A = this chain, B = another copy of it.
Amino acid sequence: MLTLEQIHAAKRRISSYIYETPIIRLNGLDHLLGCHVYIKAENMQKTNSFKLRGALNKMLAMPFEQLEQGVVAASSGNHGKGVAYAAKLLNSKATIVLPDSAPSVKVDGIRALGAEVVQCKLAERHVVTEKLSRDYGYFNIHPYDDYDIMAGQGTAGLEIVAQLPDVDTIVVPMGGGGLISGMATAVKSIAPHINIIGVEPAVVSRYSKSLEAGERLLLPEQKSLADALRTLQPGERNFPIVQQLVDKVVSVDEALIQRGMKTLLSEGKIIAEPSSSIGIGAALQGSLPIRKNEKVCFLISGGNVGLETLI
């Protein structure tokens, strides 16, 4: 179970180490997306993604002896960068397991923080991580299927409700479901009338399909521009929270993910990862259940993107 109190505790634990990122009103996007557009700019967070919130909450709560033995984390990049940052801060040693396909900007960012990088096939990353944990005694910090991680990510939800109390809808990118389960718990506990909409790539729509099936389906591996959202199965602890609290999950086509990123760039003047722009893509696709006068806050999850990807 994840509770509001755990998320408040996470906030107390991590708030002096992270930024309260701004909510930015993007007037110029209103006519394109059909609502009053706001973004929660976690691309401007330390390590340039929200993932630092969960990683710090987990590692600040860990016994010192465990930190001393080192940590290992499977990641598409951003969770790894968060864990690497937290490890550096707390004098631990981090090993990050990334898919071969991880963008170089993420691999380099993790190495620059002093962490070791191991690369393998996407589908094998959790197996490789568990082996490293067994062989070397590293503590395995799961990217999403963990209540401390979810509680950390949920602090972004607390901030949105405080910064923009009259928000109507919050749109959240989904991979394994760590961010949305934390955020939905935070937001629905405080203001149940706020809609929480999840967005995932249509090519790996593990939540849409699993929600329909009523169980956690494992999908085949697919390429997606949204490199941070390629997780193949909903998290065990995340799935029931999403079932209970998320109002709708929307799948977004690859072309619209790219259009979302370009729109945010050219009209919004904001740089975000393709995985972060997926909510904008969902709105452009006409798939969000929003009305014209609604205040809609798009969580921009990360900004770790090479400029070559933007063009």
* Residues in chain A within 8 A of chain B (CB atoms): 19, 21-22, 24-28, 41, 43-44, 46, 48, 265, 268-272, 303, 307-308, 310-311
Contact = CB atoms under 8 A, between A and B. Distances in A.
B22 A44 contact: no
Given A307-B311, A310-B307, A269 B48 contact: yes
Contacts of A310: 307
Given A19-B28, A22-B25, A41 B269 contact: yes
Contacts of A271: 265, 269-271
A56 B19 CA distance: 37
A44 B268 contact: yes
Q: Indicate how many identical chains form the complex.
A: 2
A260 to B, nearest CB: 15
B269 A44 contact: yes
Contact of A303 (B27, B48, B269, B272): B269
A150 to B, nearest CB: 24
Given A22-B24, A27-B44, 16 more contacts: A19-B27, A19-B28, A21-B27, A22-B25, A24-B41, A26-B44, A27-B46, A41-B269, A43-B269, A44-B268, A44-B269, A48-B269, A269-B271, A269-B272, A270-B270, A307-B310
A51 to B, nearest CB: 15
Contacts of A21: 27
Contacts of A308: 311
A26 B28 CA distance: 20
A167 to B, nearest CB: 16
Contacts of A43: 269
Nearest to A44: B269
Contacts of A303: 269
A164 to B, nearest CB: 12
Contact of A44 (B19, B28, B48, B307): B28
7 contacts: A19-B28, A24-B41, A27-B46, A41-B269, A269-B270, A307-B307, A307-B310
Contacts of A44: 26-28, 268-269
Contacts of A24: 22, 24, 41
A267 to B, nearest CB: 9
Q: Please list the 7 inter-chain residue pairs (A to B) with the smallest Cβ-Cβ separation, ordered nearest first.
A: A19-B27, A269-B271, A269-B303, A43-B269, A22-B25, A307-B311, A22-B24
A27 B310 CA distance: 24
A156 to B, nearest CB: 15
A22 B268 CA distance: 12
Contacts of A27: 19, 21, 44, 46
A251 to B, nearest CB: 26
A310 B311 CA distance: 10
A44 B311 CA distance: 20
A44 B269 CA distance: 7
Nearest to A310: B307
